[in-house]
Structure 1
C-alpha cells in the first residue's frame, strides 16, 4: 500500500559548498516551466501504473522547492492536487525551503495549495559560518522567513542545523542552539557535515585546506545537541531528528519503517510494491525520457526478501524506538533471532543495542556509533 509521495524540485539559487544533491543553478524560467510540465506527465503516468491509496504524506524536496516563483508554485501545486487528490483529512504536506526565498505571496500560495508543513535549511545562526559553507542567507533572513511563515498560517515548522563545520567550535554550536531554541519551534533536524565527492568541500579536503573539527570535537557537539534537546522537551525520535510530542515528521517515518512511497522528479528514488526505482538525474535526460516513455527510470529492481530484511534493520534502528520483533515477524514470516540473532547478541553484549519489551534499539552509547552498528546487519541473511 503506497500512501506517501516524494517530489523533487532540483533548482537552486546557488550550489552550497557541501552539497552533492541533484540540484542545478539556473536563471532560465523556461527551463523551470518545462520541468514542471515534465513532472505533470510523470505524475500522470505514475498513478496510471500504480493508482494511489489514500495519500497520508507528501514531501517536496530539492534543490530548493521555494526557488519556484508564485505562479510556478501555484501551477506545480495544482498538478500535485490533480494527480494525488485522494488525501487523508490529516495529511502532512511538507515543503523544503531556504531562508530568503519565501515572501508572503509565495507562502500564501503554498498554504492555499495544501502545504501545511515547512522545513527551512537554516544550518547555522553564525553568519561567518554560513558564508564558509556557501549559504547565501544570513541569520536576519532566517528570522524574517520564519516570521513570514507564521503570519501565513504555518504552525508545523522545522529547521535544519549542521555541526562539524569548518572551524566550528562547541561554543559556536551552542550559540546556534540557543538562538534556535528561542524560536519556539516544534521540530528540529540536525546533521553532521559529510564531505561528499563532487563538491567544493571535497576538493578542499583533498588539498588539506578544509579545517574540520576533530572526530572527538564533532562527537562532543552531537552529545551536546542530544542533551540540550532533551532538556528543552524535544524528544529524539531518530538519530538526527528531534520533536515535541506529536510533531514528528510522518513522511520521514515512512522511510525509516521501510514502507512504500512514490518517488517523482529528476534523480528521485521510489519504492512501490516491492520494487525500487531511480529516475534520471540530469535534467535533459529526465525530460527526454518523460517525453518518450512517460516514466524516466534509469534503474529498477525488485527488492529480495534478504534485502528487505536488511533494509528494515538498517533504517528501523535509526529510530529511537527501534525495530519491533512482532512487526518484523508479521512482515517477513521469520524472526529477528533466526535472521540476526548472533549479531544482536554481540551488539547487546557491547552495550550498543538493548531490548525494551519486544523492540531492539540503539542505546545512548550506540547512537553516536550508529553507522558501525548498521553495517553489521549487511550480508547476514542466508542468500537462499
Structure 2
C-alpha cells in the first residue's frame, strides 16, 4: 500500500464535493456567442433532462452558496415565471426533436411560489417544451414551511414521482447554528402531510458536522428521519465556502476526523435499515415498479436543458448558464437582467470542454458512484484506456481506495468515504486555475 500518498489524498484540504464537473466557478464569458440551435442539433443524447431553477427562498441558510435570493414577493415570482416561459418558448424549437426523460424543479425553494405560479411551471414543461408526464420521472424540491395541501395537490395531479426536502437537523439549536429558521414541529408537520400523499419517492436531506453536533444528536436526527420511512436519504458533510454565512472557524472545532466518524455511523445505521449506498451521500431503498413507462436517460450523454436564471445546461462539448453569484445584490442584479431579457437563443457564459475535460467528467460521473467506471465504456467512447490516459488512477488501487472487478473500477467502502477528496484531487490543473481565479460577488 502506498501509505504516504494515501495520507496525502485523505488529509489535504478541499473545497467541497463535486456535484458537477467542471465546477461552475470555472465558467467565464465565452469568446463568441454560441447559437443554441447549433449546440442542440449536435447533441448525442437520445433523451433530455429538463431542469427548471427557481432562485427564491424564504431565507438563506448559513451553509448555502447556491444561486438563490431570499425574496417572498409574489409579484417578483410572477415576473420571473413570465421570463422562464419566454425562454422556454425560444428554446423549444431546439430541443423538441428528442423526448424529455427526466424533469426536475429545484432552487431555491420552488414551492415558495404561489400555487398558480407552481402550476404554470408544469404547463410550460408539458405544453411549451413537450414533456410527457407519463414517460418522464418528475422531481420537485420543497421545504417544511412551504408544504401545504394546495401545493401538494398540484404535485400529485401533475404526476410528480419524487419530493425532496432539506431538513438538515431535527434539533432546533443545530438548525439555528446554520441560520436555518425552522422549528422541529414545523418539520414533523410537513413530513406527516407528505406521507399522506404517498409520493413514490420521498427524499430527505441531513447534514453532519454542524456546530455543536454530537454523536448522539446526529443519530437522533437520523433516527427521526428513518421514522418516516423515506425511500431516499442524502447525508451531507457541512462545508463552508466563499460568501457562506457560516465561517470555517465555526466548524473547525469538529474537524475532519469527527465528520468521518459521523459519516461512518450514519452509513452503518442506514445499511442496517435496508438502504443501499449509491454514493457518499445517497442511500436509497429499492424502488417500486413505476406505473409509468419511463424513458431511459443516459447521464453520460449530457443533454441537460436548464431553464431559469442560475440553471446550467450541459451539451457534449459546452456547459453554459447565466452568471453566478452568491451575494444578495449581485444575485438580484443577475435575476433582474434575466427577467428583462428578450433574446435567449445563444450561450454567452460557460465553458467549452476539450477532450481531456470530457474524459475527466466521464470518469468522475462514474467513479464517485457505486456503479463504478466501466473501463470498456470509457474505451468505446474515447478510443483509449482510462488507466493509460490517467495513470494516477492506479494510485487509488495502490492505496486500496479502489479495486478493479470484472473490468469495472470501483471505490472501496473506504474510498467512497473519501469521495470528496478524490473528486477534488482529479480536477485538472487548468480547471483548478480557473476556479481559484474566479471572483464571486
Alignment of 1:260-275 (within 5 A): 260-275=303-318
**Offset from partner CA, 1:184-217 (integer Å, 9 cap, x none):** 1111111000111112212xx3xx4556412111
Displacement of 1:86 in angstroms is: 3.9
Indicate the residue corresponding to 1:19 in structure 2: 64
Partner of 1:87: 132
Aligned to 2:199: 154
Quick check: 2:83–2:338 contact (8 Å CA) kept in 1?
Answer: no
Q: Does 1:232 align with 2:273?
A: yes
Distance across 1 between alignment mates of 2:123 and 2:221: 37
Change (3 A) 1:104 1:254: farther
Identify which of structures 1 and 2 has the higher relative contact order when contacts are C-alpha pairs closer than 8 Å and 6+ apart.
Answer: 2
- CA deviations over 1:224-250 (Å, ceiling 9, x no partner): 1111111111001111100012379x9
Conserved? CA contact 1:169–1:213, under 8 Å: no
Matches within 5 A, 1:130-279: 130-202=175-247, 205=248, 208-210=249-251, 212-246=253-287, 257=300, 259-279=302-322
- Secondary structure in structure 2 of the residue aligned to 1:17: coil
Is 1:373 matched with 2:416? no
Q: Deviations over 1:261-297 (max 9, x none)?
A: 1112111111024321022353543453562322484
Aligned counterpart, 1:8: 53
Partner of 1:75: 120
How far apart are the structure 1 equivalents of 2:62 and 2:155? 28
What is the aligned partner in structure 2 of residue 358 from structure 1? Answer: 407
**Contact residue 55 and residue 88 of structure 1 kept, 8 A:** no
- Please give the alpha-carbon distance, in whole angstroms, between the structure 2 residues aligned to 1:148 and 1:218: 32
Per-residue deviation at 1:16? 1.0
- Give the gaps of 5 or more residues in structure 1: none
Q: Is 1:156–1:247's contact at 8 Å kept on the other side of the alignment?
A: no
Question: 1 CA distance for matches of 2:180 and 2:335?
Answer: 27
SS in 1 for 2:79: helix
Post-superposition CA distance 1:73-132 (Å, at most 9, x none): 112221122123243734211111001211101110122233221001111111221122
Change (3 A) 1:26 1:215: same
Contact map agreement 1:239 1:367 (CA 8 A) in 2: yes
Q: Please say if 1:122 is aligned against 2:167.
A: yes
Tell me the TM-score normalised to structure 1 length: 0.90
**Distance in structure 2 (CA, Å) of the matches to 1:212 and 1:308:** 38
Report the Cα distance in structure 1 between the residues aligned to 2:149 and 2:135, rounded to whole angstroms.
Answer: 24
- Matched residue of 2:371: which SS? coil
Change (3 A) 1:275 1:52: farther
Contact kept? 2:302, 2:316, Cα under 8 Å: no
Query: Could you give the per-residue CA deviations for residues 303-341 of structure 1, whole angstroms, max 9, x where no partner exists?
Result: 21211001111222110121111111122222223312x
Q: Which runs of 5+ in 2 are unaligned?
A: 1-44, 325-330, 431-441
Q: What CA distance in whole angstroms lies between the structure 2 residues aligned with 1:139 and 1:330?
A: 51
RMSD value over aligned CA atoms? 2.5
Find 2:388's aligned residue among 320, 331, 338. Answer: 338
Structure 2 CA distance, aligned partners of 1:131 and 1:23?
Answer: 20
Contact 1:5 1:59 in 2 (8 A): yes
Cα 1:368–1:93 shift into 2, 3 Å: same
Equivalent position SS for 2:76: helix
- Structure 1 residue 367, shift from structure 2 partner: 1.8
Indicate conservation of the 8 Å contact 2:50/2:304, yes or no.
yes
- SS across alignment from 1:200: coil
TM value normalised by structure 2: 0.79
What is the match of residue 349 of structure 1?
398
User: CA 1:10–1:19 in structure 2 vs 1: closer, same or farther (change >3 Å)?
Assistant: same
* Equivalence for 2:361: 311
Out of 71, 77, 86, the position equivalent to 1:41 is 86
Does the 8 Å CA contact 2:51/2:104 hold for their aligned counterparts? yes
Tell me how many residue pairs correspond in the alignment: 373
Q: How far apart, CA to CA, are the structure 1 residues paired with 2:284 and 2:131?
A: 28
Change (3 A) 1:374 1:200: closer
- Contact persistence 2:301–2:316 (CA under 8 A): no
